[in-house]
Chains A and B, each alone.
Chain A
C-alpha cells in the first residue's frame, strides 16, 4: 500500500511516515505544501491520502476539492487542528472520508488509515479471506488451512495488495506503484522474486493453487 502525506510541519510528517512504514509496511510519500501534494496525488496511484488543512500555497480544503473534481476517489483522511462541528461537516461534505484531530494518537492514525484503505478496496473486515487463505491486516499474519505462514515484509505487502482485490488482474506496474514510494522504477524486477517466494510458501503444500500468472497482464489471486 502506498500513502501520501500532505503536511507542512516537517517533523510531524516524518513521524507519521515512519509510523506507517514501520507498523503497517506502507510506502509513504510526503508533500510539504498543498500544491505539491495535489500534483503528487494526481500523478501517482495512492491507496490513501493524509491531508492537513492549514497548508501553504494551497489550502487543504482546496486540495481536497480539486482532487475530487478531477475524479480521484482515493480515500482521504484529514488531519486537522480544528474540531468545530461546522468545519468537520464542511470537510466530510467536500469529499473527505474521515478526519482525526491534532494532537492525535499514532495508533489511532494507523487504525483509521488501515480501515480507510480496506473500505477503499471494497473490503469491510480487517481479515481478508480467499478460499482457505486468511490474511489478518491488523497484526499482519497469514494462515492457510489453519497453518501459520511466515512471510517477509515485502512478500506480505504484495499478498495484502492482491488480497484486497481478489479475482482482479493486477499488473506488475500497479504493484510497483502501490508498494514503493516515488522512486519505484528502480525496483522493476523484484516483484517476480516476491511472487515466486509467495507461491512457494502458500501454494506448494496445497492441492489448490491461489496465485495465478496471466501472461502479459499480471497476477490474480483466486481459487
Chain B
C-alpha cells in the first residue's frame, strides 16, 4: 500500500499535539475552577465573618443579642444577591437576608461547604459554626453566646470564567497546532532532502558510471548510512558481474568471428566462379563441419555462462544427495575409449563412499574435462591417475598426468576462458579453451576450489576440493554467493 513518510510524520506530530492540548485543557479547567472556587470560598468566609460581626449584645447585660442590619456587606454579585442567615444557640434564628427563599429550606447542620441551585443560579454555601459574638465589653458577667452563620454566594461567574479559559486554551492550541504542522512540513522537507540527493546520485549510476558519489549532505546523515552503504556494496557486486558478462561477451564475439570467417570465405569462394559438383560437395562438407564446430562452441559458451551464474548464486537448485566416488568412476568410464585411442591408461584410487549434495551431471562434466585434458597431454603408454578421497573436512579429487606439463607463464591462465597454451594443438584436439573455465565455475558454485600444479616435463596435477556435508546437514545446500 502506498503511503508517505511525510504524511505519517505529520499525523504523528498532530496526534501528539492534540493529546498535549487536551491534557492542557483538562489541567487548566481543573486548576482554574479549583483556584476560583477557593477564592470564592475565602470571599464567602470573609462576608460570613462580617455578617457575624453585626451581631451585638444588648446593653442590659443579660447576654441577649440583636442584629445590626445597617452594615450588611455588599453582595459578591449584585445581580444575584447573596443569602445569609444567623442562628443563636439560645433562641435559634436571629436574622435572615431579605432574599432568603421561603420555599427552600437550607438545613443548618451538614457540611461546611456545599453547592445548590436557586432559581437556576448555582450557589456556593458556607456553614460557620460556633462563631463567637465579638461585641463583648470588659466586666460583662454572662456566659457569651456563639452563633451559626450560613452564607451563600452565586457561583455563576466561576463557571463562565472556567469556560472562557477553556475556550482560550483551545484556540491557542489550535494556533500552535497550525504552527507546528507548518514547521514540521518545513522540517521534514529539509530533513528528507539528503534522501532526494541520494536518489539524484543513484539515478546517475549507469553501466558506464558505476561510482555512487555521495555528497556530504548524505554522508553526514546517520539514518542514511546503512542505505548508502548497502547501495555501494550492491553496485560493486553488480559492476563485477556486469563486467564479467561484458568480458564474456567480448571474448565470445572474438571467438565466434574466426569460425564465421571460415564459413563465409568457404561459401564465397564456392560462388566466385562455376565449380564442378565435386568441388561443391567438398565445399558444402567443409561448411557443415565448420557449422558443427560453431554449434559446439556455442553450447560450451552457454554452459559456461550458466555455470558462472550458479557460481554467483543467481540460480539455486535443490540438489540430490549423491556419492562422489561413483561420479568419478562414471567419468573415467566415459573417457576409457579416448584413453585407448591415445594408448594411455586411466587408474582410479578410491577411499570409501563420500556423500555430498550436487548435480551428478555437473560433477561428471568437471571430472571428464580434467581426465580428458590429462589423457590428451599424456605420452603413449603412460597412466592418468585419478584419486578420490578426503582431505580434512573436504572431499578431494586429484587427476595427475605424466605429460609435458604446463609452462610457468601459462599456468596462471589455464582456468581463463578461451585460454589455450598452444592454439594450433588446441584446435587439433578440438578444444575451445572453455573446459577448465567451466569446471572452475561449477566447482566454485559448489563452494569448492580447483587448482593446477605443473612443471614442464613433469606432468600436471589438478586438485579439486569440495565441502562435504555431514548427514545431519542434509537440508538444501546453496551455492556460495
Contacts and interface: CB of A to CB of B under 8 A. Distances in A.
Contact of A104 (B254, B261, B424, B427): B261
B424 A15 contact: no
Nearest to A56: B424
Given A11-B286, A32-B424, A102 B269 contact: no
A9 B254 contact: no
Contact of A81 (B258, B269, B422, B425): B258
A102 B257 CA distance: 6
Interface string B218-255: 00000000000000000000000000000000000010
B261 A8 contact: no
A18 B268 contact: no
B257 A12 contact: no
Q: B interface, by DSSP: helix, strand, loop or mixed?
A: helix
Contact of B268 (A19, A32, A56): A19
B264 A103 contact: yes
Interface of B: 254, 257-258, 260-266, 268-269, 272-273, 286, 290, 422-425, 427
A102 to B, nearest CB: 4
B262 A106 contact: no
Interface residues of A, number: 24
A11 B268 contact: no
Contacts of B261: 9, 12, 81, 102-104
Interface string A7-41: 01101100110110011000000001100000000
Contact of A15 (B260, B262, B273): B262
11 contacts: A8-B424, A11-B262, A11-B286, A12-B262, A15-B268, A22-B272, A54-B423, A102-B257, A103-B261, A104-B265, A105-B268
Contact of B258 (A22, A102, A106): A102
Interface centre among B260, B423, B425 (most CB of A within 10 A): B423
Contact of B257 (A16, A55, A101, A106): A101
A109 to B, nearest CB: 8
Given A8-B423, A9-B258, A16 B272 contact: no
Contacts of A56: 422-425
A103 B423 contact: no
Contacts of A9: 258, 261-262, 427
A22 B273 contact: yes
A12 to B, nearest CB: 5
Nearest to A101: B257
A101 B268 CA distance: 16
A157 to B, nearest CB: 18
A82 B261 CA distance: 13
Contacts of A107: 268
B268 A102 contact: no
Contact of A19 (B269, B423, B424): B269
